[in-house]
Amino acid sequence: MANLGIFYTGQPLIPVPASSGESNLRSRTNNGNGNEGGLSFAGALDAARKQARQVSFSRHAVERLESRQLDLSEQDLARLDDTVEKMAQKGAKESLIYMNDIALVVSVANRKVITAMDGMSARENIFTNIDSAAII
C-alpha cells in the first residue's frame, strides 16, 4: 500500500519585504525584541481587533450619504463605532442610530450601516425590523 502522506523537506522561512502601498493598520513597529522593521504580534492583534470592531458601510448606505450630501467626521465615526459596540454588548441585532440629524440603520451583528438618511427624510419613514434604537 502506498504512503499518501506529503513530505516536505524543511527550509528556512524568509520574510517578505513590505510593499510600498502598505496600509496603516499594518504599520511596522520596533517592539524592542530585536525584530526591527517587523510587525509585532501584539501590534498585529490589536490592529485586527480594531478593524473587526469598526463599522463599515454598505454600497447603498454610501450612495445615500453621497446623494444627500451627508458627511460623517472621524469623531462621528468613532462615536458610531462606540455606540455599535455598546449595542452589541446588550444583544442588539438591527438598530436605528440617530446622530447629528442623520438616521442610520445598522446591522449590529455585521457591524455594517445598511442605509442612511437625513433627519427630514427620516421623519417621513417607518422603520421596521429593528430591535433597538440609540440617539447620540
Tell me the pLDDT tens digit for each residue of 72-116: 998 999 999 999 999 999 999 999 999 988 999 999 999 999 999
Q: Indicate the helix (H) or strand (E) that contains 107.
A: strand 102-107
Q: Residue 107: inside a domain, yes or no?
A: yes
Residue whose C-alpha cell reads 440617530 in the numeric block:
98
Q: Three-state DSSP class for 58?
A: coil
pTM exceeds cut of 0.75: no
- pLDDT per residue as tens digits for the range 4-21: 665 555 555 566 665 554
Cβ atoms of 116 and 102 within 8 Å: the answer is yes
Q: For residue 64, what are the domain limits? A: 55-135
pLDDT confidence band for 3 (50 / 70 / 90): low
Q: Residue 21: inside a domain, yes or no?
A: no
Whole-number pLDDT of residue 11: 58
Q: Residue 41: inside a domain, yes or no?
A: no
Q: Residue 10: inside a domain, yes or no?
A: no
Q: Residue 70: inside a domain, yes or no?
A: yes
Q: Residue 83: inside a domain, yes or no?
A: yes
Q: Max alpha carbon distance in the chain (Å)?
A: 75
What value does the mean pLDDT of the chain take? 78
Whole-number pLDDT of residue 62: 93
Q: Indicate the helix (H) or strand (E) that contains 42.
A: helix 41-53
User: DSSP code of 25?
Assistant: G
Q: Residue 16: inside a domain, yes or no?
A: no
- Number of domains within the chain: 1
> What is the mean predicted confidence (pLDDT) over 56-62?
93
Cβ atoms of 84 and 55 within 8 Å: the answer is yes
Q: Residue 84: inside a domain, yes or no?
A: yes
